[in-house]
Amino acid sequence: MAKDALTLKNEANSALKEGNISKAVELYSEAIKLDSQNAILYSNRSLAYLKLEDFGLAINDASKAIEIDPNFAKAYYRRAAAHISLFQPKDAVKDYKMAVNKAPNDVTARSKLRECEGLLKKIRFQEAIQVSDPPSALENVNIDDMDVSADYDGVELKAQMTEEFVFNMLERFQNGKKLPLKYAYSILRDIKEHYEKVPSLVDVRLKDDETLVVCGDTHGQFYDLLNIFKLHGYPSHTNKYLFNGDFVDRGSWSTEVAFTLYAFKLLYPDSIFLNRGNHETDDMNKVYGFEGECKAKYNERTFNIFSETFTALPLGTLIADTYLVLHGGLFSNDNVTLDQLRKIDRFSTKQPGQSGLMMEMLWTDPQTQPGRGVSKRGVGLQFGPDVSKKFCEANGLRAIIRSHEVRDQGYEVEHDGYCITVFSAPNYCDSTGNKGAVIKVKKDMELDFHQFEAVPHPNIRPMAYANGLLSGM
């Protein structure tokens, strides 16, 4: 017996509450086919898309709900949340104002409006005082003359990074301890200086006895990062790692993850490689928690120095002329070459913006249909299997390896093998139930996929340091 729209909606609502977001979207979509003028269905699916981080689709559904019912306050609220998720506070303020106008007694909407107006005011103030070429946050900081607090009970960080310091740091992080500011600044300074000499596309080759472990998003899930090392070994001269962006935000141990990766990079410069992700950017960090975490655990200067290290990170890694590893995906132009990627001036651009090769490398996603499509995220675009095949053949590649999206099994081989997604944050945000995965690559260039489950962590919720505007989504 065919189900009616109301039954499907109720089933979708249950799936949403249980965390089965993709199923909820499927059920809401079926209901919409039966009742295409029901604003509640579009608004509810908008919420599901928000949870999937498909912010462009969330905006479209909320807009459709408003078109059907211009007085539907919740739809304005949903659209505002999507705009905030994309760091579009001007648009969010407009929608929060409409939500309050349509539902003047809604205390939450009023609170969000005040918070969003405060954020917009702060942004405008920062824009007003910003100079064209601001000095480094490290300027006038004499790290060598800084003192280490007398209550610091860890290993001393000397001129060169040591194994003793790194493993003691990891132990201290597991016990909820922080780095002294002197050591935090020192690591960030040295990483910045290192990456300022590195090209935008890094070439990596493997010797007979070497393995490269390719990891996707880790998103501040420090205890899952330690589990990756437990399962596959710590970085060493023969056991190399490539982390493909999105080390920070959402998870509440983002500083620990970033300092761990940076410290290992300083210890073994030729054995750990880092690509920039779309969350190694100022706009995302201001919303999704990294800025707040830096201020809570260290100070504002720490965040500002981190930001400078993020702008210095390379945008992609080429493994033995065979696999291009980049965080998001491919391009709006079929004629992009690896040489063009090498020549990207990431130091002038700094932040990816809304267009250009850097933005596309960090933000785009694969789609099943041929050609290119409008981004479900609201930033970038989507590219089909024909795009992947053409790019790989033109550049002599076997495949691209990208991250940027949750996969239930931790990875997915897509586009007839020309596009591979790997995601290394299991049970993402403690809610999705996905596995994590890594890809092991050896000199023969065959790919070996390894899955793993999430491990327990201290009782601190994800997004604990995120902008309050994202709560209650």
197, pLDDT greater than 80: yes
**What confidence score (pLDDT) does residue 472 get?**
54
Pairing mode, if any, of strands 201-204 and 316-319? parallel
pLDDT tens-digit map of 108-131: 999 999 999 998 888 888 778 776
28, pLDDT greater than 60: yes
Please give the share of the chain, as a percent, with pLDDT higher than 70.
Answer: 99
Lowest mean pLDDT, pick from 110-114, 184-188, 224-228, 229-233: 110-114
Pick 131 or 336 by higher pLDDT: 336
**What confidence score (pLDDT) does residue 462 get?**
95
Q: Does the CA dihedral 182-184-187-189 come out positive or negative? A: negative
How many whole angstroms separate alpha carbon 89 and alpha carbon 181? 32
**What confidence score (pLDDT) does residue 468 get?**
79
- E strands, 378-462, are 381-383, 399-402, 411-414, 419-422, 436-441, 447-452
How many whole angstroms separate alpha carbon 76 and alpha carbon 94? 9
How many whole angstroms separate alpha carbon 292 and alpha carbon 309? 17
361, pLDDT greater than 80: yes
Per-residue DSSP letter, 468: G
When pLDDT is averaged across residues 137-149 and rounded to a whole number, the result is 94
* Both tokens assigned to 106: 């809604």
Q: Is 279 a catalytic residue?
A: yes
How many whole angstroms separate alpha carbon 189 and alpha carbon 304? 12
When pLDDT is averaged across residues 162-188 and rounded to a whole number, the result is 98
**What confidence score (pLDDT) does residue 122 get?**
85
Q: Does the CA dihedral 177-180-220-230 come out positive or negative? A: negative
When pLDDT is averaged across residues 246-259 and rounded to a whole number, the result is 98
Output the average pLDDT for the chain. Answer: 95
**What confidence score (pLDDT) does residue 2 get?**
64
**Within 10 A of 425 (CB to CB), how many other CB atoms are there?**
26
The catalytically annotated residue of 219, 232, 237, 279 is 279
**What confidence score (pLDDT) does residue 119 get?**
87
How many whole angstroms separate alpha carbon 170 and alpha carbon 148? 18
**What confidence score (pLDDT) does residue 131 get?**
67
When pLDDT is averaged across residues 139-161 and rounded to a whole number, the result is 94
Lowest mean pLDDT, pick from 259-263, 366-370, 422-426, 430-434: 430-434
* Both tokens assigned to 14: 């249950």
When pLDDT is averaged across residues 171-179 and rounded to a whole number, the result is 97
How many whole angstroms separate alpha carbon 163 and alpha carbon 466? 33
Domains parsed from the chain with CATH numbers: 5-129 (1.25.40.10), 143-470 (3.60.21.10)
Q: How many residues does the chain have?
A: 473
**What confidence score (pLDDT) does residue 275 get?**
98
The pLDDT confidence band at residue 245, using thresholds 50, 70 and 90, is very high
pLDDT tens-digit map of 424-442: 999 999 988 999 999 999 9
Q: What is the pTM of this model?
A: 0.93
**What confidence score (pLDDT) does residue 63 get?**
98
When pLDDT is averaged across residues 65-85 and rounded to a whole number, the result is 96
Q: Which class for 287: exposed (0-12), middle (13-18), buried (19 or more C-beta within 10 A)? A: buried
16, pLDDT greater than 70: yes
